[in-house]
Amino acid sequence: MSSLPGRSLEYIKRYRDIVDDFDCFVEAISRPLNPSIRANTLLIDPDLLASRLEKRGFKLRRVPWHQWFFIVDDPELAEHPGRSLEHLLGYYYVQELSSALPPIVLDPKPGDLVLDMAAAPGSKTTQMAQMMKGIGTIVANDVSSDRIGALRSNIDRLRVTNVILTREDSRSFRSKIKYPKILLDAPCSSEGTVRKDPSHLANLTMTRIRRFSSLQKALVRRSYDLLEPGGVLVYSVCTFAPEEAEDVVSYAIDLGLDVEGFELPVMSDPGVVKWVDEKGRVHEYHKKVERTARVWPHLNDTGGMFIAKLRKPGGRLSQDRGYDIFMTDDIHGTAYMEPASKDDLEFFNRYFESRFGVDRRELSSYIVLKRGRSFWAFSGEMRTLEVLDRVESAGIRALNISGRIPKPTTSFLRLIGNRAKRNITSLRSYSELVEFMSGGIVRRKFDADPGFVIVKYGDDVLGCGMYSPRLGLVSQLPKYMRAEASWGLHPE
Ligand SMILES: C[S@@+](CC[C@H](N)C(=O)[O-])C[C@H]1O[C@@H](n2cnc3c(N)ncnc32)[C@H](O)[C@@H]1O
């Protein structure tokens, strides 16, 4: 018997004809989904992460088709899979398994240039950064400033330095270059996330679906313009409605994109060529939509996902990954994050050398950018940054000089902390860890100069603290990296 609210069950019947086993499908979407996590291989080996989490009581099940992923089986932790020290330190990301599939189809490699057209909150952006081993450039765009905030927090937490964040309506995304790989994980009616949030189905109307469908077509249209000849666009939506899936792909075919088949590591059905909707209307799509994939929740016990791999015909224009400058738009590179001047770079290097004993050669793996009173560490390509408009940030913020003394950020200290030789403080006990991680003050003397220090617990670099011999060590963790005392961060 389904636990779906009656209205949702009534609604979902429109898919009766296109699902192989409708009862099985309804049964699956009526059951909540245990969360899954992705080890952040930029920072930690998946086995090491699993053994750390298991020591603290997580019950993890390995995902057979991807070594980065684990399912969290413990029902209590499953409610809050992000409540651990490892999560706060960016060692993993909570990501639904079907959401891992579109990046697998796009297959970004180290050194690639990728445009992520609807990127927030960054599950796929950060997964692609891992696939690229942090080498190459991802341009991650989203229209919503709130969601960009979440995306930036995730990039910071996972210590991803090769992402350029832009905030634009992707329907009119401005760019002087074309891209060899584009991910369009489009805004959609999210029916496939019903196991996480049943309201997604309960509040759906056909008007909303139609609106999403036209938005998606406009986004595909712009993706087509931005794609280099021979380039690949992966289009995905976490929904079942053919209006947002095969219908959009048919539109893409009309634009001139070709549909390519692909292998998935999980079970899927081909896209539907013909179906009859709830009003008895018959819809027929291009035969080639059969090459797309529908990942129904009951096939692999996941959420739902539709994926298409689309290629723009033509040979590649340059051996140089799309860096021919296309004057498709009348824009000039208005990036207001610029490489630090010689003097500023000297100031930056000298600060980390003198305060923390970090060899400046260690810092040279980053391009140091400056905007206003802050420095940023970026490891993507400058020539991409230079030709983009509406840049929100590139890389991660490293140092702020607006106050009385320079203030390093927690994310940057986490990146370089293990190469530092001075002003490192180590916490001694679980209670000190909890105090620091929850934004409090550890009241004792440390062997450090007054001012900003690197704070460690065992081998983990926790972040930035402010040490004063009179007060103690005051946590400088940003709010989104703080824990609550009740979380149980570590076994005692
Ligand atoms: C399905 S979510 C993306 C999820 C993301 N790819 C991930 O894996 O974490 C769709 C995103 O599209 C964004 N969006 C909606 N309309 C947009 C537009 N016109 N241009 C750019 N982004 C848009 C939303 O703010 C939302 O963050």
CATH T-level topology, domain 423-487: 2.30.130
* Cα 147 to ligand 1 centroid, rounded to whole Å: 8
- If one counts every other C-beta atom within 10 angstroms of the C-beta of residue 94, the result is 14
**Which pLDDT does position 336 carry in this prediction?**
75
Model pTM?
A: 0.95
Quick one: pLDDT band at residue 491, thresholds 50, 70, 90?
Answer: low
**Which pLDDT does position 327 carry in this prediction?**
46
**Which pLDDT does position 492 carry in this prediction?**
46
Segment 430-458 shows an average pLDDT of 96
Segment 36-53 shows an average pLDDT of 97
**Which pLDDT does position 386 carry in this prediction?**
87
**Which pLDDT does position 7 carry in this prediction?**
81
Q: Are 119 and 151 in contact (CB under 8 A)?
A: yes
* Cα 280 to ligand 1 centroid, rounded to whole Å: 32
| Token pair recorded at residue 86 | 């490892």
Ligand 1 atom at minimum distance from 144 CA: 25
Quick one: pLDDT band at residue 489, thresholds 50, 70, 90?
Answer: low
Q: What is the pLDDT of residues 184-239, one digit of tens each?
A: 999 999 999 988 888 778 778 899 999 999 999 999 999 999 999 999 999 999 99
Nearest CA to ligand 1 atom 17: 143
Select from 36, 139, 144 the residue to mutate for testing ligand 1; criterion: most ligand atoms less than 8 Å from CB.
Answer: 144
Is the predicted pLDDT of residue 329 greater than 90, yes or no?
Answer: no
Task: Find the catalytic residue in 24, 188, 238, 464.
Answer: 238
Quick one: pLDDT band at residue 337, thresholds 50, 70, 90?
Answer: confident
Residue scoring higher pLDDT (332 or 135): 135
State the residue for tokens 């909150």: 121
Which residues have CB under 6 Å of ligand 1? 99, 118-124, 141-144, 147, 169-171, 185, 187
What mean pLDDT, rounded, does the chain reach?
Answer: 93
Ligand 1 atom at minimum distance from 124 CA: 8
Among 69-83, 308-322, 436-450, name the most confident range.
436-450
The yes-or-no answer on residue 238 being catalytic is: yes
Segment 335-355 shows an average pLDDT of 93
**Which pLDDT does position 490 carry in this prediction?**
57
State the residue for tokens 């993507």: 380
The CA distances from residue 427 to 133, 439, 451, in Å, are: 31, 14, 17
* Cα 274 to ligand 1 centroid, rounded to whole Å: 28
Ligand 1 atom at minimum distance from 121 CA: 9
Residue scoring higher pLDDT (59 or 319): 59
Segment 458-486 shows an average pLDDT of 94
**Which pLDDT does position 1 carry in this prediction?**
43
Sign (positive/negative) of CA torsion 140, 144, 145, 150? negative
Q: Where are the domains of the chain?
A: 338-414, 423-487
Nearest CA to ligand 1 atom 6: 119
Q: What is the pLDDT of residues 272-326, one digit of tens each?
A: 999 999 999 999 999 999 999 999 999 999 999 999 999 999 976 555 555 555 5
* Cα 119 to ligand 1 centroid, rounded to whole Å: 6
